[in-house]
Structure 1
Amino acid sequence: MTLSPLTAISPIDGRYRRTTEELAAYFSEYALIKYRVFIEVEYFIALCESGIPQLKHFDGSLNKKLRGIYADFDLEDAQWIKDKEKETNHDVKAVEYFLKDRFEALGLTKSLEFIHFGLTSQDINNTAIPYAWKEALSKIYLPALKALITALEQRATEWNDIPMLARTHGQPASPTRLGKEIRVFTERLTNQVQLLEHLPHAAKFGGATGNFNAHRVAYPDMDWITFGNDFVNSTLGLNRSQTTTQIEHYDYFAAQCDAMKRINTILIDLCRDIWTYISMDYFKQKITAGQIGSSAMPHKVNPIDFENAEGNLGIANALLEHLAAKLPVSRLQRDLTDSTVLRNTGVPMAHALIAIKSAARGLQKLILNEAALRNDLEQNWAVVAEAIQTILRREGYPKPYEALKALTRTNEAVTQDTIAAFVETLNVNEEIKTELKSITPWNYTGI
């Protein structure tokens, strides 16, 4: 079958293609090839500027044309490389041959052997992949996540003064405010985003086993460590790992995976809470004409956006867990297991993106049912017991906790009248009694 959203094996490129297609520019096979071409070209330009005698004749006049190779890179170019890979059975070597072909077209025949000079394929992969990951994080993932946080903060502000019964262990507890409970998640997410953004994007660049062996033997008087640092840190905007094997050790990447896992876990917590509030009728959902909630029950409007988000966040976390656990482990100076795993770095980000967009969509559908929140509070006057016994403690009243416990821990309903009658039995002055009677489930919400 011809590959299409209908025939794709993964729902990322199938059912959810419209949601995730913007990530193709960073994580597709085409994207990986293009980023490799980008690294190779910029490396060649850096060599020309390094003072190598054989490249001194390059004055930068051709840099625009050289950079045009990756700036104008298209699917036809990528296919040229894939066809060459069938001959070489080596993906990075095919990129090298592509560039030699393009350099020859520019009349640079004498400089062909300085393409990929002294490098191993992982010098290209371990800069191209973190570069693409960094770009996708900053341009796609983080903007979507921050937009969700902003939408949550807007709802938190809108619902700031809405009193709500809290539930601890699933049981009625001291009242809170709906806006504050939403803001719990905006604070958690904001803190974790800050941690994620502060993690370096590490890259490996140092030859076959990380020691610049080939570079050093060819040009022993050059400071190759400084060259590598300048190229990776300044030109590419990454952080060069100083002591490596053939590959990047992926410790910072693993930390990024762990940071994303925490973000996803917080989002799962959010989705489950909102799902529960919907089931409690605290929220209604906007109805879209023509849409169906159940094939059998016509009345249903299901919280599918939050369920979809939760499911995709779980898949993302399972993959992030594997990436974080597997990539930092490699036999001796290198084995190949990281290669196929790295090709999946975009998959958990795609599932997270699906979830973020789904949660944002669900948030827009919520309609506050304030009557249900108020009714829940009205049915649970027992929650003011904490307030009453605390004031009695303040006044030095004997055993106030025990008195309220006896009043409230029964199977009989505790109402406003029950509380008022209890207050009248207390041996306190009228001012204190008035203070106690003024406490209600909807004004006992704290700061």
Structure 2
Amino acid sequence: MPESSLPQPSASPAASPAFPTTQGTTPARQSLADAGIPLGPLDGRYRSAVAPLTEHLSEAALNRNRLHVEVEWFIHLAHHEVLPGLHPLTDDQEQELRAIVTDFGAEGVAELGAIEKETVHDVKAVEYYIGRRLPALGLEHLTPLVHFACTSEDINNLSYAVGVRDAIGEVWLPAARAAVGTLRDMATAAAATPMLSRTHGQPATPTTLGKEMAVFVHRLERQIRRVEQQEYLGKINGATGTYAAHLAAVPGASWPDVARTFVEHLGLTWNPLTTQIESHDWQAELYADVARFNRILHGFCVDVWSYISIGYFAQIPVAGATGSSTMPHKVNPIRFENAESNLELSNALLDSLGATLVESRWQRDLTDSTSQRNIGNALGHSVLALSNVTKGMAQLKVAETVLAEDLDHNWEVLGEAVQTVMRAQAIAGVTGMDNPYERLKELTRGHRVDGERMREFVQGLGLEADAEARLLALTPASYIGLAEELAHLH
């Protein structure tokens, strides 16, 4: 088609945009970045819930751990007189060196940051930071001992191991135990509270609310035990894991023994065979266990959300709180919804870390450098979810009346009990017990069966007296087997 025959844009006012453009007219505004506003919610909206992780997994905490590792390596070498001319430090000197670590605060963070701008290398900046302080301690002559025979990864792998170990032990595990404790309390309190099961979303053999809570307690506590048993590995063996520089400087020293005792002194497990990097396998193992815990807890949150939606739980309103912005009758299950989302975010990061950290090209690449800086975010989303579960459980009240009514409307669930008793009677030689499953299927499938109809059916079967009496005494609320006892096994 010739260009001239194509429809041409109209120049009339009707063709002008429906909304005026704002391009080039945006008014001047204050810089949020300059105001120090955090980019992400963990350091903003939710900071109070995850702040304890800052002590272990922030950039400042990583640098403090680096100072810790460097100072302890310095003391370790002197204490064991590994190098010719070295002598053990005095108690005062060791205390003053360790004060470099304990005194590291806002001023130290700023100073270290300024040094790093010059070195453009984070670990080298730590080395210089310590070196600046040795003259005041009368140890200027030992400045070459700082970072002796180390590659950056010798310091980093140990610093991350210490940080992750303490974050798990002092923050994540207590939060996990607290959340699971709220489930345990409900399992105990509701051990005998009958509840209709809903296999495939349909009415099924009753249980108790406590027993269902106990299942999650049992599963989550298994994962907690796995996390508690985690090894945190470390190495300090040089640029390619061969102790080459160590032996070049002091060929007579037993460097593997020096390395092992140092790593163990830090409270870590020695990894004797590595490339330049500690292989990070222990991190992948740990993150898989935490992620598995998260997934089980996610399933719990989904179940609780669903129970709230059908009225099994009533949410205790918080004074002054808004449930819905437009529907005042609602109390949204926000705690469990928030937990679900944060568990998903945590697992996305944990799964990525676990997959990334176990690989390194040849003897070293730096893909782990950026990855490991997100460990705090990965655990932070999990800790936030745990906080929400703990708070959410405190705002739940079991709606026992609703549970009882639901059971009473579903007498057909006793069909399982009746046909199983009929099978037992047939084996015992009682006649008339043919096709028990099919007869109960005809009675119950697609039909609402009440208590009177179920009892009439039982009375017409010709059961032995004791078997008939057991079934006639049975109700959906009492057909819970050993659920109450099982609820106390957590």
TM-score w.r.t. structure 2 length?
Answer: 0.89
**Deviation string, structure 1 residues 154-191 (Cα, Å, up to 9, x no partner):** 11110010000001110111100000000001100100
Does 1:369 find its partner at 2:399?
Answer: yes
**Deviation string, structure 1 residues 120-145 (Cα, Å, up to 9, x no partner):** 01100000011011001000110011
Does 1:88 find its partner at 2:119?
Answer: yes
Does 1:33 find its partner at 2:69?
Answer: no
Does 1:153 find its partner at 2:171?
Answer: no
Shift of 1:392: 1.1
Secondary structure of 1:298's match?
coil
Give, in whole Å, the separation in 2 of the partners of 1:131 and 1:109. Answer: 28
Aligned equivalent of 1:24: 54
Aligned residues of 2:235 and 2:259 also touching (Cα < 8 A): no
Aligned equivalent of 2:250: 219
Secondary structure of 1:165's match?
strand
Aligned equivalent of 2:471: 436
Moved more, 9-18 or 427-436: 427-436
TM-score w.r.t. structure 1 length?
Answer: 0.97
Shift of 1:72: 1.4
Secondary structure of 1:164's match?
strand
Give, in whole Å, the separation in 2 of the partners of 1:4 and 1:157. Answer: 52
Does 1:209 find its partner at 2:240?
Answer: yes
Q: What code does the residue aligned with 1:403 have?
A: R
**Deviation string, structure 1 residues 72-101 (Cα, Å, up to 9, x no partner):** 111111211110111110010011011110
1:124 to 147, 151, 155: 155
Secondary structure of 1:398's match?
coil
Secondary structure of 2:85's match?
helix
Aligned equivalent of 1:198: 229
Q: What code does the residue aligned with 1:175 have?
A: P
Give, in whole Å, the separation in 2 of the partners of 1:432 and 1:78. Answer: 78
Secondary structure of 1:297's match?
coil
Q: What code does the residue aligned with 1:261 have?
A: A
Shift of 1:4: 9.5
Aligned equivalent of 2:415: 385
Give, in whole Å, the separation in 1 of the partners of 2:89 and 2:461. Answer: 94
Give, in whole Å, the separation in 2 of the partners of 1:386 and 1:57. Answer: 78
Aligned equivalent of 1:418: 453
Aligned equivalent of 1:320: 350
Does 1:407 find its partner at 2:443?
Answer: yes
**Deviation string, structure 1 residues 363-416 (Cα, Å, up to 9, x no partner):** 000011101000110010011111111111111122211111111113x31110
Secondary structure of 1:284's match?
strand
Aligned equivalent of 2:363: 333
Q: Superposition RMSD on alpha carbons, in Å? A: 1.4
Shift of 1:57: 5.7
Does 1:42 find its partner at 2:77?
Answer: no
Aligned equivalent of 1:254: 284
Aligned residues of 2:410 and 2:450 also touching (Cα < 8 A): yes
Give, in whole Å, the separation in 2 of the partners of 1:109 and 1:430. Answer: 97
1:303 to 325, 333, 340: 333
Percent identical among aligned pairs is 42
Shift of 1:430: 3.5
Aligned residues of 2:79 and 2:88 also touching (Cα < 8 A): no
Decide whether aligned partners of structure 1 residues 2 and 110 sit closer, same or farther in structure 2, where only a CA change above 3 A counts. Answer: farther
Give, in whole Å, the separation in 2 of the partners of 1:25 and 1:349. Answer: 13
Secondary structure of 1:244's match?
coil
Q: What code does the residue aligned with 2:334 have?
A: I
Does 1:345 find its partner at 2:381?
Answer: no
Following TM superposition, the consecutive aligned residue runs of length 4 or more in structure 1 with deviations greater than 4 angstroms are 2-6
2:297 to 267, 292, 311: 267
Secondary structure of 2:287's match?
helix
Give, in whole Å, the separation in 2 of the partners of 1:162 and 1:345. Answer: 41
Aligned residues of 1:5 and 1:14 also touching (Cα < 8 A): no
Give, in whole Å, the separation in 2 of the partners of 1:97 and 1:329. Answer: 31
Aligned residues of 2:80 and 2:88 also touching (Cα < 8 A): no
Give, in whole Å, the separation in 1 of the partners of 2:386 and 2:329. Answer: 27
Aligned residues of 1:6 and 1:14 also touching (Cα < 8 A): no
Q: What code does the residue aligned with 1:278 have?
A: I
Secondary structure of 1:32's match?
helix
Give, in whole Å, the separation in 1 of the partners of 2:214 and 2:69. Answer: 43
Give, in whole Å, the separation in 2 of the partners of 1:432 and 1:14. Answer: 65
2:314 to 249, 268, 284: 284
Decide whether aligned partners of structure 1 residues 55 and 428 sit closer, same or farther in structure 2, where only a CA change above 3 A counts. Answer: same
Decide whether aligned partners of structure 1 residues 355 and 5 sit closer, same or farther in structure 2, where only a CA change above 3 A counts. Answer: farther
Shift of 1:427: 2.2
Give, in whole Å, the separation in 2 of the partners of 1:115 and 1:253. Answer: 28
Shift of 1:2: 5.9
* Alignment coverage as a number of residue pairs: 445
Structure 1 stretches lacking a partner, 5+ long: none
Structure 2 stretches lacking a partner, 5+ long: 1-30, 427-432, 483-490
Shift of 1:60: 4.1
Secondary structure of 1:428's match?
coil
Shift of 1:5: 10
**Deviation string, structure 1 residues 42-80 (Cα, Å, up to 9, x no partner):** 000000012222212634441111111111111111211
Moved more, 264-273 or 284-293: 284-293
Does 1:357 find its partner at 2:387?
Answer: yes
